[in-house]
């Protein structure tokens, strides 16, 4: 009896669930999902750019990422454009744009659009959270269809993540990219790949075509937005940006572990203790279980970044930070971007044995011969462009250098302090110290000893005090930059955004060259304060690192009251600053 009651009860629930006369729930859900998708796409398309070369013959796609008009696209899209391009947006307007920075190996370019300070821009997602099967959509200008600048949308799923694609031609290497079956065709290059919520997860740039001809075959790749985030500071520097190398190669051993097969003795990984046959456990925060894993992770970091590396030897794990060297020399990079980049199949040519994955051309002319149209640069572009060897657009380097120095000067206010600078106080281990910095050199008095360094000896003959890596020279250069400014310091340029130990946010880095010495000044982008100075007396040696912390207001100046000095793996000393005169 009890059972019968339950059955009746349950049948009752079931009939009410199924017996409603409105839209069946599944259809309603589909309609709602469709409406949501349309809304997402309508919003997303606002930030999408159709890139055209000045002559209007070539081009591709792009996406605006800041309200003041910085936009991402592919390097191979802007390459035929030269330094200026026209950008159509969904508002129906055509904007002038200028090249800012390029990453030829990663096939990314940063451009800046002019004409608005409230550009609609795409919100970047965390692309490491993207999974195979996730819905995604691409927007752009395939086959250059967007004559009214309304982007084409193609919908698909994520087919794979963390994909590695071998270099095509001479330079392009797609690492850690997102594979999608959303249709990507010639002209889509440089355009955005969005997740289902309309957040930017990557920049579309490459497809597997092989023998099927130059149209989509269900396989395309996007550079992950997380990789681009790492390169953003470097791209803003106006440079031709380089990728990184560890200085060591790895191979699997018989047990399937990833071990160091070869290592350069002058690389930072070697100085941090990595040796032949060590097992690489993790790199850049990711576990490494195949040599390809390492290659993949390496590709997402720009040259010069310090990245965590963990390796194991005799069962013991070592966790270190390594500075990554550049993949190319400056000359190599310059000569390579001039080289023929896009192998183009000739009409009627039979596909070769294994065609490299061909980067999508702009969708315009089939010939990839560099077209340098004799079209005058628009005035607004002219104002924002400056040619310099090694740079895509030196104007933006100066712009950022000025921004960083201005913020620093505002809070430290030391530009007029041309006399001797003194810093005095206690060493954290006990004992008084006193630094004196002048135009002619630097001096350190310790209870037991006294060290001097005289200007003119920058070449590194005497890196006083011993074991510091050249602390006196580093402090001398600090004062020099504050007093003389970028023009008289020697050569000062904006290097990009770099991670700093113990901080979440990246630092703005200025590179100062003086008397053959390379010195990096790391600044907090939020308030302009100087976080650290890293002085490299020679190229293949550890720098002297000076970390400034515990800033305090003193006579209207915000100054550090703690100075930590490191060299290599060792702490040289911690100086508490009790008194200073400027």
Partner 1 sequence: MQILFDHLAAVLARRVDSKPPGLSRRKLSAGTSLTARRASTAAKFFLFALLVHTCSSHSLAAGASTAEVLDRIQPNVVKIYGAGGFRGLEPYQSGMIVSADGHILTVFSYVLDTDQITAVLADGRRFEARLLGADPRLDVAVLKIDAAELPHFDLGEAVEVDAGTRILALSNLFGIAIGNEPASVQHGVVSVKTGLAARRGVFNSVYRGPVYVLDAATNNPGAAGGALVTRTGQLVGMIGKELRNALNHTWLNYALPIGQLRESVEAIRAGRLVAARQDEPKQKPARSLRLEMLGIVLVPDVLERTPPYVDHLRSGSPAARAGLRPDDLILLVGGRLITSCKVLNEEMEYIDFEDRIRLTVLRGGELVELDLQYSANGEE
Site membership for partner 1, residue 7 (CB under 8 A): yes
DSSP letter for 54, please.
T
Among residues 90, 75, 216, the alpha carbon closest in space to that of 155 is found at 216
Enumerate residues 151-190 that contact partner 1 by CB under 8 A: 156-157, 159-160, 162-165, 179, 181
What CA–CA distance (Å, rounded) separates 560 from 366? 59
Of 216, 227, 282, 506, which one interacts with partner 1 (CB under 8 A)?
Answer: 216
Q: Which is nearer to partner 1, 131 or 448 (CB)?
A: 131
Site membership for partner 1, residue 210 (CB under 8 A): yes
Q: Which is nearer to partner 1, 290 or 329 (CB)?
A: 290
25: left (phi over 0), alpha (psi -120 to 50) or beta: alpha
Of 3, 338, 346, 374, which one interacts with partner 1 (CB under 8 A)?
Answer: 3
Q: Which is nearer to partner 1, 181 or 534 (CB)?
A: 181
Q: Does the active-site annotation cover 162?
A: no
CB within 8 Å of 413: residues ≥ 6 apart: 556, 557
**What's the start-to-end Cα distance of the chain, in Å?**
96
Instruction: Say which of 53, 61, 159, 189 is annotated catalytic.
Output: 189
E-assigned strands of 128-151?
A: 135-140
Site membership for partner 1, residue 29 (CB under 8 A): yes
Site membership for partner 1, residue 292 (CB under 8 A): yes
Q: Tell me how crowded residue 12 is: count the other CB atoms within 10 A of its CB.
A: 10
Site membership for partner 1, residue 208 (CB under 8 A): yes
Q: Which is nearer to partner 1, 130 or 517 (CB)?
A: 130
CB 138 within 8 A of CB 182: yes
What CA–CA distance (Å, rounded) separates 206 from 201? 15
Site membership for partner 1, residue 92 (CB under 8 A): no
Q: How many residues bind partner 1 (CB under 8 A)?
A: 45
CB 509 within 8 A of CB 522: yes
**Minimum CB distance to partner 1, residue 154 (Å):** 12
Of 1, 6, 449, 526, which one interacts with partner 1 (CB under 8 A)?
Answer: 6
Q: Which is nearer to partner 1, 132 or 376 (CB)?
A: 132
Question: Could you tell me the two tokens for 75?
Answer: 């390097």
Site membership for partner 1, residue 218 (CB under 8 A): yes
Q: Does the active-site annotation cover 176?
A: no
Q: Which is nearer to partner 1, 21 or 555 (CB)?
A: 21
Site membership for partner 1, residue 35 (CB under 8 A): no
Site membership for partner 1, residue 424 (CB under 8 A): no
- CA 284 vs CA 134, 234, 274: distances in Å: 25, 18, 15
Cα dihedral 66, 67, 70, 73 in deg (nearest 10): 70
Q: Which is nearer to partner 1, 36 or 571 (CB)?
A: 36
Q: Does the active-site annotation cover 208?
A: no
DSSP letter for 294, please.
H
Stretch that binds partner 1, among 74-82, 215-223, 268-276, 526-534 (CB under 8 A): 215-223
What CA–CA distance (Å, rounded) separates 537 from 462? 10
Site membership for partner 1, residue 14 (CB under 8 A): yes
Of 20, 93, 212, 372, which one interacts with partner 1 (CB under 8 A)?
Answer: 212
Cross-strand bridge partners of residue 423: 435, 580
Of 87, 219, 246, 522, which one interacts with partner 1 (CB under 8 A)?
Answer: 219
Among residues 556, 511, 501, 495, the alpha carbon closest in space to that of 531 is found at 501
Site membership for partner 1, residue 249 (CB under 8 A): no
Stretch that binds partner 1, among 9-17, 89-97, 375-383, 482-490 (CB under 8 A): 9-17
Cα dihedral 174, 177, 183, 184 in deg (nearest 10): -30
Among residues 540, 521, 390, 406, the alpha carbon closest in space to that of 460 is found at 540
**Minimum CB distance to partner 1, residue 43 (Å):** 18
Cross-strand bridge partners of residue 532: 522, 547
**Minimum CB distance to partner 1, residue 7 (Å):** 5
Site membership for partner 1, residue 351 (CB under 8 A): yes
x-or-dash string of contact with partner 1, 134-153, rule CB under 8 A:
xx------------------
User: How buried is residue 129: exposed, middle or buried, by Cβ count under 10 Å (0-12/13-18/19+)?
Assistant: exposed
Q: Which is nearer to partner 1, 72 or 182 (CB)?
A: 182
User: How buried is residue 1: exposed, middle or buried, by Cβ count under 10 Å (0-12/13-18/19+)?
Assistant: exposed
Site membership for partner 1, residue 389 (CB under 8 A): no
Instruction: Provide the binding-site residues for partner 1, judged by CB under 8 A.
Output: 3-4, 6-7, 10, 13-14, 17, 25-26, 29-30, 32-33, 131-135, 156-157, 159-160, 162-165, 179, 181, 196, 208, 210-212, 216-219, 289-290, 292-293, 351, 353-354
**Catalytic center residues:** 76, 107, 189
């Amino acid at each position: 009896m009890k059972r019968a009651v339950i059955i009746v009860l349950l049948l009752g629930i079931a009939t009410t669930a199924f017996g409603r006369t409105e839209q069946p729930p599944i259809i309603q859900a589909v309609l709602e999902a469709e409406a949501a998708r349309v809304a997402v796409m309508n919003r997303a398309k606002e930030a999408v750019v159709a890139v055209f070369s000045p002559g209007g013959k070539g081009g591709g796609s792009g996406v605006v990422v800041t309200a003041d008009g910085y936009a991402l696209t592919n390097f191979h899209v802007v390459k035929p454009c030269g330094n200026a391009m026209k950008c159509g947006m969904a508002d129906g307007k055509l904007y002038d744009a200028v090249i800012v920075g390029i990453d030829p190996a990663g096939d990314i370019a940063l451009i800046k659009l002019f004409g608005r300070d409230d550009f609609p821009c795409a919100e970047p997602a965390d692309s490491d959270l993207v999974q195979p099967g996730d819905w995604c959509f691409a927007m752009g200008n395939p086959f250059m269809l967007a004559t009214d600048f309304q982007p084409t949308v193609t919908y698909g799923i994520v087919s794979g993540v963390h994909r590695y694609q071998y270099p095509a031609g001479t330079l392009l290497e797609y690492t850690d990219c997102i594979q999608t079956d959303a249709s990507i065709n010639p002209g889509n290059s440089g355009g955005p790949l969005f997740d289902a919520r309309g957040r930017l997860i990557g920049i579309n740039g490459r497809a597997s075509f092989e023998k099927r001809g130059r149209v989509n075959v269900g396989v395309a790749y996007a550079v992950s937005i997380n990789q681009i985030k790492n390169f953003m500071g470097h791209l803003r520097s106006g440079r031709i940006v380089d990728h990184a190398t560890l200085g060591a190669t790895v191979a699997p051993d018989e047990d399937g572990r990833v071990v160091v097969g070869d290592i350069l003795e002058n690389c930072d990984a070697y100085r941090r203790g990595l040796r032949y046959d060590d097992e690489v456990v993790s790199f850049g925060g990711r576990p490494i279980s195949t040599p390809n894993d390492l290659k993949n992770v390496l590709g997402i970091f720009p040259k010069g970044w310090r990245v965590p590396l963990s390796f194991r030897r005799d069962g013991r794990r070592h966790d270190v930070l390594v500075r990554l060297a550049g993949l190319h020399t400056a000359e190599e990079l310059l000569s390579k971007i001039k080289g023929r980049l896009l192998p183009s199949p000739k009409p009627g040519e039979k596909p070769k044995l294994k065609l490299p994955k061909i980067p999508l051309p702009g969708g315009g002319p089939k010939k990839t011969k560099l077209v340098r149209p004799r079209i005058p640069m628009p005035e607004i572009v002219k104002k924002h462009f400056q040619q310099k060897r090694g740079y895509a657009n030196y104007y933006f380097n100066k712009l950022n250098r000025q921004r960083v120095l201005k913020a620093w000067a505002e809070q430290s206010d030391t530009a007029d302090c041309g006399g001797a600078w003194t810093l005095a106080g206690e060493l954290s281990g006990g004992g008084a110290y006193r630094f004196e910095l002048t135009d002619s050199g630097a001096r350190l008095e310790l209870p037991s000893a006294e060290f001097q360094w005289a200007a003119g000896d920058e070449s590194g003959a005497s890196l006083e005090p011993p074991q510091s890596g050249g602390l006196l020279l580093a402090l001398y250069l600090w004062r020099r930059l504050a007093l003389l400014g970028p023009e008289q310091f020697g050569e000062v340029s904006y290097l990009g955004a770099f991670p700093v130990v113990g901080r979440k946010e990246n630092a703005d880095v200025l590179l100062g060259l003086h008397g053959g010495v390379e010195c990096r000044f790391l600044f907090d982008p939020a308030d302009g304060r100087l976080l650290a100075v890293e002085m490299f007396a020679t190229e293949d040696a550890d720098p002297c690192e000076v970390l400034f912390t515990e800033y305090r207001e003193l006579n209207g100046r915000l100054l550090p009251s703690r100075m930590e000095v490191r060299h290599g793996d060792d702490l040289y000393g911690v100086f508490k600053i009790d008194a200073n005169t400027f």
